[in-house]
Structure 1
Amino acid sequence: MNILIIHTAFIGDIALSTPFVRAVSDKYPDADLYYLTTPAGAALLQNNPLIKEIIVFDKKGKDKGLKGFFKTAKLLRKYKFHTVFILHRYLRSSFLGYFSGAKERIGFDVASGSFLYTKKIKYRKDLHEIDRLLKFVDGETGKYKVEIYPSDINVGNIDAIWQKHGIKDQKIVAVAPGSKWFTKMWPKEYFDELINKLNGLKNVKIILVGGKEDKEIELKNESKAIDLRGATSLSDLAEILKRSDVLVTNDSSPIHIGSAFEKPFIAAIFGPTVKEFGFTPSNKKNTVIEIEGLECRPCGIHGHDKCPLGHFKCMREILPEKVFEIVADKLEIKLDNTLKNPEE
């Protein structure tokens, strides 16, 4: 039996779907699993041993528009899928599931185009995203985790970076300052101050991570860190986070990529969004840093180009000192006797 999973959302969403991939494989051990996603999603899913083939749907590039849609739909029909799980709640994904020709089409009841499904799953706002997706196959809560598989090439790439920068036994703090939405980004001057404070600690290396677009975030203290923004693939990033002791990140995809690994403590900074949306770090070692009690939170499920009320308290009231203390504590560093020369 051929089974298709459709998910063309953001990178973090794709990472959070990997426990579902494992649950589907457990429920249908003799089936071949296929996954349709974006080019970025495909890069993250590569090397997953449970997926027979990743079908790339470049919805913003070569497959954009009706011509690309129907070309992809025609391709899907060739696989003769028996079942398609439509995890993305948007109309285009619903129609792709329908035109795939699959006899069984399963998706969320709140999805656009849900009338095209043969079975609808209740969308549970009270659950973490992983557990929401597991409802598709009655997967056991807590049994499955995010799975990302850096290759030997990725390991070699990061080994070379470690050697270049003399990283051996130092503590690693990965810092991810970016996001698709402005209001989900902790102020860049706060990241600057955090980097400066971390740079004052002995035996600590700071690594800036993110995509090419994150290079546009101008940080005065970026020279005090190893700046790898835009210089690594998603699988390289996974290998970096696998080796990191702490990850400081906004409510963005590095949270979920880092959650695939046991080592990193994830300090996730939440401003306009809240934990109740179900997109918190899923590994056991984490904390969500937020300002509780603000009446304006949440102001949306994603974020905005600017604070709707103009004050941006949800981020500006999370001070660098607080984040620094959390990181230092998790590094098990006593601040009174491990600072470098203050003039350094």
Structure 2
Amino acid sequence: MKILIIQQKMIGDVLTSSILFKALRELYPEAELHYLIKKHTFAVVENNPMIDKIIFDQEDFEGAEISFLKFAHLLRAQNYTAVIDAYSKIGSALLSFYSGAKIRSGRAKWYTRAFYTRSSTYESTQVNKAGLAIQFRLKLAACLGLDQSISYQPKIYLSDLEITEAKEFLKSFEIDLSKPLIMIGVLGSNPQKTYPLSYLAELLETLIATSDAQLLFNYIPSQLAEVKELYKLCSPKVQAKIFLNCYAKSLRKFIAICHHCDALVGNEGGAIHMAKAVGTRTFAIYAPQIETKAWSFEEDKNHSSAHLQHFKPQLFEHLKSQKEILAENHNLYQNFTPDLIKPDLMRFLKNLAPYEV
């Protein structure tokens, strides 16, 4: 049996969909499992022993860019038994159809339904403690016998060398690994998913007052202006705890650094998912338009989150769709004041002991 999973999207989605490989490997240990992704997302599935082959979107097996039609021919030549289209857009649906696989599964949409042999709807009822996003991916593969009620969590596989090099990198900045080290997710994937910097600065004051932590900021060079803005909003006491110039120069190095952190605190998104996948505690601040039940694992002492709707549900009563919530994004964020989050954050920070599974 040869199975292809398609996820031509962002890093968090590629990582989340990777749980299918563990589930399928347990059910079909002899199957050949391939993953079709964008090249820039490779870092989160590199070294994953459950995946037999990574295929980069619209590249041949030598790494040369090819046309969509040639790429479709390349996939068809693989003679897949099944294709699970976790992306489920028109392009991936066409690739699924043209693959010739007898089993083709994707999300039910009026413009793609004809390309699949099985279409699944996204459910809002949670039967899997890992979250609706993982539950839905398992549902897509139910045609292969997967049980969507079983909980799976994404995992990133780091090599011993990567872990050692990240440790030495941190030490080169005179970071004391015997003390708590916390990564701060400063920015969301876009402004509509970014907690106001002035509010975040206030949370960092609470964080430093609650724990003897050292702080790292998660950012890339193009985001330095916003990061410096946050830094300037912090008191000298907090600034003294921030290692501003200690940042990862690649996604894989960021993941390895996260492995050494006691926690990641900040905007919910790809960084939170990656931290979870290497066994690092997380405290996620959700954007108003994002549902916690879609992306959060069952919360415990290792993972916690904050969402405005939990504190002020009345603000959402007249908003009937994500589009309406997005239109009110700025006002909703202004209502998401630090005093709402601080009690939960302080409980989370109370004991930054070694991670407990």
Q: Please, what TM-score do these two structures have when normalized by structure 1? A: 0.83
Residues 302 and 239 (structure 1 numbering): CA distance in 2 closer, same or farther, change over 3 Å?
Answer: farther
Paired residue secondary structure (2:171):
helix
Is the aligned partner of 1:331 residue 2:349? yes
User: Residue 275 of structure 1 corresponds to which residue in structure 2?
Assistant: 292
Within the candidate set 302, 305, 322, 1:300 is matched to 322
Give yes or no for contact 2:219–2:227 (8 Å, CA) kept in 1: no
Contact 1:149/1:235 (8 A) holds in 2: no
Query: 3-state DSSP class of the match of 1:327?
Result: helix
Quick one: which amino acid aligns to residue 327 of structure 1?
L
Q: Secondary structure at the match of 2:5?
A: strand
Question: What is the deviation of 1:216?
Answer: 4.3
Q: Aligned residues: percent identity?
A: 22
Q: Could you say which residue in structure 1 is the equivalent of 2:47?
A: 47
Q: Does 1:152 align with 2:160?
A: yes
Asked if the contact 2:283/2:348 (under 8 Å) is kept, the reply is no
| Residues 1:303 and 1:45: Cα distance change in structure 2 (over 3 Å) | farther
* SS in structure 1 at match of 2:137: helix
Q: Indicate yes or no: 2:202 matched with 1:193.
A: yes
Residue matched to 1:173 = 182
Greater shift, 260-269 or 286-295, is seen at 260-269
Which segment is superposed worse, 15-24 or 263-272?
263-272
Q: Deviations over 1:40-92 (max 9, x none)?
A: 22221111001011111169xx85xxx63123212212322121110112111
Higher helix share: 2
- Does structure 1 retain, via aligned residues, the 8 Å contact 2:157–2:278? no
CA distance in 2, matches of 1:143, 1:273: 21
Task: Return the alpha-carbon distance in structure 2 between the equivalents of residues 96 and 212 of structure 1.
Answer: 36
Aligned residue number for residue 106 of structure 2: 107
Pair 1:177–1:303, CA change in 2 (3 A): farther
| Distance of 1:40 and 1:229 partners within structure 2 | 22
Q: Which residue of 2 aligns with 1:215?
A: 224
Judged with a 3 Å threshold, the aligned counterparts in structure 2 of structure 1 residues 316 and 208 are, in CA distance, closer, same or farther, namely: same
What amino acid does structure 1 have at the position aligned with 2:305? V
Q: Residue 340 of structure 1 aligns with which residue?
A: none
Aligned equivalents of 1:74 and 1:24: distance in 2? 25
Aligned to 1:312: 330
Deviations 1:250-288 (A, max 9, x none): 231122212224441333333222224x12246643223
Per the alignment, do residues 2 and 228 of structure 1 end up closer, same or farther by CA in structure 2, a change over 3 Å counting? farther
User: SS at the partner of 1:50?
Assistant: coil
Please state whether the residue corresponding to 1:146 is helix, strand or coil.
Answer: coil
Conserved 8 A contact 1:134-1:140: yes
| Matching of residues 137-148 of structure 1 within 5 Å | 137=142, 138-148=146-156
Q: CA deviation at 1:192?
A: 2.8
Does the C-alpha gap of structure 1 residues 111 and 287 become closer, same or farther in structure 2, counting only changes over 3 Å? farther
Q: What letter matches 1:330 in structure 2?
A: F
Give CA-to-partner distance per residue, 1:275-305, whole Å, 9 cap, x none.
24x122466432231222112657527985x
C-alpha deviation, 1:28, in angstroms: 1.7
Aligned counterparts of 2:246 and 2:37: Cα–Cα separation in 1: 24
Mapped to 2, the partners of 1:282 and 1:254 lie a distance apart of 18
Unaligned runs of 5+ in 1: 335-344
Aligned length: 325
SS of 2:8 mapped into structure 1: coil
Is contact 2:163-2:259 (8 Å) kept?
no
In the TM superposition, 1:1-344 aligns within 5 A as: 1-57=1-57, 68-110=67-109, 112-127=111-126, 128-135=132-139, 136-137=141-142, 138-164=146-172, 165-200=174-209, 203-222=212-231, 224=240, 225-227=242-244, 231-276=248-293, 278-281=294-297, 284=300, 285-292=302-309, 293=313, 294-295=315-316, 300=322, 308-309=327-328, 312-332=330-350
Give a deviation string over 1:3-29, Cα, whole Å, max 9, x none: 111001111111111222211112221
Name whichever of 122-131 and 77-86 sits farther off: 122-131
Task: Give me the TM-score of the superposition, normalised by structure 2.
Answer: 0.80
Deviation at 1:212, TM superposition (A): 4.3
C-alpha deviation, 1:169, in angstroms: 1.1
Change (3 A) 1:220 1:159: same
For 1:46 and 1:301, the matched residues in 2 are separated by 35
Q: Label 1:112 to 1:237 Cα distance change in 2 as closer, same or farther (>3 A).
A: farther
Q: Contact 1:272/1:314 (CA < 8 Å) preserved in 2?
A: no
Other-structure match for 2:235: none
Check 1:58–1:40 CA distance in 2 against 1; reply closer, same or farther (3 A cut): farther
